[in-house]
Chains A and B, each alone.
Chain A
Amino acid sequence: MGVERVRALDGVDLDIQRNEFVAIMGASGSGKSTLMNILGCLDRPSSGIYTLNGKPTHKMRAGALARVRNQEIGFIFQSFELLPRQSALKNVMLPLLYSKGMFKARKRAKNALKRVGLETRMSHRPNQLSGGQRQRVAVARALVSEPSILLADEPTGNLDSTTSSEIIALFKQLHDEGQTIIIVTHEEEVASHAQRIVRLSDGKVISDNPTAEDPLHRKFVTAMASTIQTQVQDIDQNHIPKQLDDTSTNNSTKRAHELSQETEALDASSIHTMPGTKPARGVIQP
């Protein structure tokens, strides 16, 4: 029948070293989710090799993959995925429940929560925590089994900008402590904190550069810089009487719009959000 076979990933060749901080970027449909699933041992490539810490995971069965996930991978999801009825501590203990370390789970979970700065919120349930705190709990859960890789899928996608930068700062701190981190994101701002950016489009790696040398990213940084300038102007103008406010708002919106068009034109895989516009909008809105 007419089943269309789609190659979600095609000829991807990646080598990620210990203690790297890598951002994987790409539009939706570019295959970044599939790549993340394979990196996270949730899925196996239909052909090809994925060796994680010397383990040939492409040959493993479901049970063995589950053990690899338990020991080697710490997942952080966009929507946190915390168990709603359980306390933060219980949520963090979850991965240890499925490992040999379950009898030390409580202690280790407490330590992990301390690392993310939530030692005072351990007995709270997810619905008693803010979005940022929830994501911190999720990070603690990912850390608790001391995995080789911290694998974050749009970790800031459900967070506002302030909380996002908190989480990113947490990632940077963990990276400085020696953690290998892979972030899947489409936000340039998030990616800017990584050491290396891997861009995917139509299942292929279209670029793989250190962050500082990534042409798209440099473009973004330049754009950001001017946006921030505009913001600074906005803030200055906010001090002058209200009648003058309209013109300045119009100016800066136009500017932001131009910028975003410029960036999109450069990249076929299209970066949907201009991260820089978010804070700008916050100021601009009447």
Chain B
Amino acid sequence: MILLRLAFQTVFLALSQIFSNKIRSMLTTLGVIIGVASVISVIAALDGLQNNILGEFEKFGAKRVFIDGRRPESMRNKITWREVQLKEIEVTEILKHSESLDLIVPMWYGGYSIAHGKRTIDSVSVIGMWPSWHKIENRQILQGRQFSAIDEDEKRQVCLINEHAIQELDLDRNPVGSYILVSGRRFLIVGVVETIQMSAMFGGGDTSTEVFIPFSTARKLNPNGWLNYAQGELKDPNAAEDAIAEIRFVLRKMRGLEPDEEDTFQIQVMQRFIDQFNSMAGAIKAGAGGIVAISLLVGGIGIMNIMLVSVSERTREIGLRKAVGARPMIILTQFLVEAVVLCLVGAGIGLLIGEGFVLGLRLMPDSPLSKASVPFWAIVLSVGFSAATGIIFGMFPAIKAARLNPIDALRHE
């Protein structure tokens, strides 16, 4: 009952006041409108961009770990490039000792010429890996089968090709069972995997022919070659730091590194990239938030100005209200509510404009922001900020009104 009375005394009064000064109220809230509209669109655009980029990361999988050799600056003279390369035994040991890792696969890359019939393609990437690669990569097998443990154990001369290769090598539509020559050796095609186009961000770009062979077969193909890197998968995306520590421990121990020596390898976890990217995006958003705070500040000053005008215009009215029994608190609340409502109306209009702008971004052809949408927290934040602006900048005029002496106010011209 008391609350309802208070609402009548303040909110409705404030609303009617704003309504009776439509144009003035509109112009006053322009600062808030622009501020909110811009924060909404900036955050939505950033969010869209972030979704887009994270989507690319997701193609790799957040749980992916990459390990490869590295020659630290301080050891350039002591150690050769070859010595720091990962060895199969190291990969096996890591798999054995790292509890956070679910899987790990050594990846052997080579460039060889491939031939089928009269067609020959030079320097095709030939990738040697363990059968467990299938579990990490999740590439669909379009025809034939996956690699099996027997292929690996028996160093079979079998290969998987990607779909792209069928065309390139002019193979049958169902190439399983056909043979191709890899560096002059005959390999039986046992399956076809889907072609994945990596985004330019990860050095992808053009799709190319890929040939996959068992790791052991690859070693046989070039006994002096080395494995380029190993890729693993975490049991849990949050176990990134644990996994890094475990792998590091195993590798440092195996390589006999002294405590003062730097790592001769590097470990990269996808989740870490994602975290870094997220924190960067967060920083940009915070920056955008700061800009908005400034525009709300400017808007707030506009509101304060108009509220001061309103107080001095309505001095007699305030005097009368006080004379007939409005307590100072009520007068204060009335003006404060008026300022807050002004700001909220501005925020509402700003939200609409921002949403419209975001819709425009989304509908742009080939937009990287096709997923841009205004996150709920941004709405809450900007409305909250606007209300706070109203309270902060409305406080001074409201106090001024509340403190007016009714006698002087009634005598005011």
| Bitwise interface map of A from 39 to 75 toward B, beta carbon under 8 Å scored 1, else 0 | 0101100000000000000000011001101110001
Interface centre among B5, B319, B406, B407, by most chain A C-beta atoms within 10 angstroms, is B406
Closest chain B residue, CB of each to CB of A64: B327
B324 touches A75 (CB 8 A): yes
| Closest beta carbon of chain B to A114's beta carbon, Å | 20
A66 touches B8 (CB 8 A): no
Point out the residue from B20, B328, B410 that lies within 8 Å of A81, measured CB to CB.
Answer: B410
B326 touches A66 (CB 8 A): yes
Q: Verify if A218 is at the interface (C-beta below 8 Å from B).
A: no
Q: Verify if A37 is at the interface (C-beta below 8 Å from B).
A: yes
A63 touches B329 (CB 8 A): yes
Quick one: which of B398-413 are within 8 Å of A by CB? 406-407, 410
Given known pairs A94-B321, A102-B5, A102-B8, the reply for A66 and B327 (CB within 8 Å) is: yes
B320 touches A62 (CB 8 A): no
For A100, what are the chain B residues with a Cβ–Cβ distance below 8 Å? 5
B323 touches A40 (CB 8 A): yes
Quick one: which of B321-349 are within 8 Å of A by CB? 321-330
| Bitwise interface map of A from 61 to 100 toward B, beta carbon under 8 Å scored 1, else 0 | 0110011011100010100010101000000001101111
Interface residues on B, range: 20 to 34
B407 touches A69 (CB 8 A): no
Quick one: which of A111-167 are within 8 Å of B by CB? 141, 145
For A69, what are the chain B residues with a Cβ–Cβ distance below 8 Å? 322-325
Interface residues on A, range: 20 to 34
Point out the residue from B20, B316, B317, B406 that lies within 8 Å of A42, measured CB to CB.
Answer: B406
B323 touches A42 (CB 8 A): yes
Closest chain A residue, CB of each to CB of B411: A33
For B20, what are the chain A residues with a Cβ–Cβ distance below 8 Å? 85
B328 touches A70 (CB 8 A): no
Q: Verify if B132 is at the interface (C-beta below 8 Å from A).
A: no
For B407, what are the chain A residues with a Cβ–Cβ distance below 8 Å? 37, 42-43
B325 touches A141 (CB 8 A): no
Q: Verify if B9 is at the interface (C-beta below 8 Å from A).
A: yes
B325 touches A67 (CB 8 A): yes
A191–B329 Cα distance when bound, in Å, is 38
Query: Given A67-B325, A97-B326, A141-B324, 7 other A-B contacts at CB below 8 A?
Result: A37-B407, A40-B323, A43-B407, A75-B324, A98-B9, A98-B321, A98-B325
8 tightest CB-CB pairs across the interface, nearest first? A70-B325, A95-B324, A98-B325, A66-B327, A63-B327, A81-B320, A98-B326, A69-B325
Which chain A residues have a beta carbon within 8 Å of chain B's beta carbons? Answer: 37, 40, 42-43, 62-63, 66-67, 69-71, 75, 77, 81, 83, 85, 94-95, 97-100, 102-103, 141, 145
Of the A-B pairs whose beta carbons lie under 8 Å apart in the complex, a sample of 25, sorted by A's number, is: A37-B407, A42-B323, A62-B328, A63-B328, A63-B329, A66-B325, A66-B327, A69-B322, A69-B323, A69-B324, A81-B320, A81-B410, A83-B320, A85-B20, A95-B324, A95-B325, A98-B325, A98-B326, A98-B327, A99-B325, A100-B5, A102-B8, A102-B9, A145-B324, A145-B325
